[in-house]
Structures are given as C-alpha cells and as structure tokens.
Homo-oligomer: A and B are copies of this chain.
Amino acid sequence: MADTDEGDPLALDNQLCFALYTASRALTGFYREILTDLGLTYPQYLVMLVLWERGTLPVKELGLSLSLDTGTLSPLLRRMEGAGLVTRTRGPEDERIVHVGVTEEGERLRERAEEIPHRVLCATDLPPEGVKDLRVLLDRLTRSVTGTEREPNHTDPGPGTRPGPKGG
C-alpha cells in the first residue's frame, strides 16, 4: 500500500483544493477553445448567460449573480461593450447605477451558444448522476467556505470562525 503518501496531509495528491483548482482551469481551458469562435472569454460567457436569462441588469446585480466584484466587472463589461455585445447606460433615475443590457449582436450570439452546454456535457465522460452529484458537492463546498453556511440543524462545532480574518 501507500504507493503515494497517503498519510502526508501536505501531499499534493491528497489535496482537494488542488483537484478543484486543476479541474477549474481544465474546464475553463476547454471552454476557451469553444468560446473563441464566439469571440468570448469564459467570464464574458458567464455574463452573457446571466443577461440572456434575466435581461438588463445593474452591474451590482450581475456581480451578485456571479459572485464577482464590480472592480472585476467594470473593465470586463467595457471590453464587451467595445465588442458590441452589451450596452451600458447610466440609469436616469439613479445615476450611480449602470444598467447592462444585451445588444442585437449579443442576442444573435445566443443561438450559437445554445449548443455549448451539450457539447461540454458530452466532453465530460461523467454520467448524469455524476454531474448532478458533482454540482451538489460543489455548491455545498462553496457555501461552507464562503460563510454562507446555513447551519442546517447540527450544533456549531466551534465558534472559532470569526468573520474577522484580517484582525489577527
């Protein structure tokens, strides 16, 4: 046994984080090949997904949907506007808010994007349950490490999780 360092907690192969990190980059890379045809990057594609689904939104809302900072979205949306995919217009009511909407060109892109999920799903040789399980586990992981934890009904294992990581 132990052809790898099963006992070493620092062994790379034992790290869930590394598997997640690698898988994320691998999948993003796979999308990159597909999305190049559409002139989109991966996060830009995610932005389009949200806009296609929910229509015109403030930058803030977009950020909440994608868990992305407005500081991340600002230049990204500027590039997408430059590419003619989205519009950015200051709201007449509240001039702080920038409403992001899909242009006609962006709308046309939707049809070409329809096939992408299927293509990706085929590329992953995971069975449907595997995909579902994976999503469930990932969502749970995300919730737990973001402090969005719902504490379902079991006793809190330890109050050491103070929300002030910077403080000390």
Contacts and interface: CB of A to CB of B under 8 A. Distances in A.
A19 interface: yes
Interface of A: 5, 8-12, 14-31, 33, 36, 42, 46, 49-50, 52-53, 65, 67, 110, 113-114, 116-118, 120-126, 130-131, 133-135, 137-142, 144-146, 149, 157, 161, 165-167
A130 to B, nearest CB: 6
B134 A137 contact: yes
A146 B67 CA distance: 26
B123 A144 contact: yes
A149 B117 CA distance: 20
Contacts of A31: 17
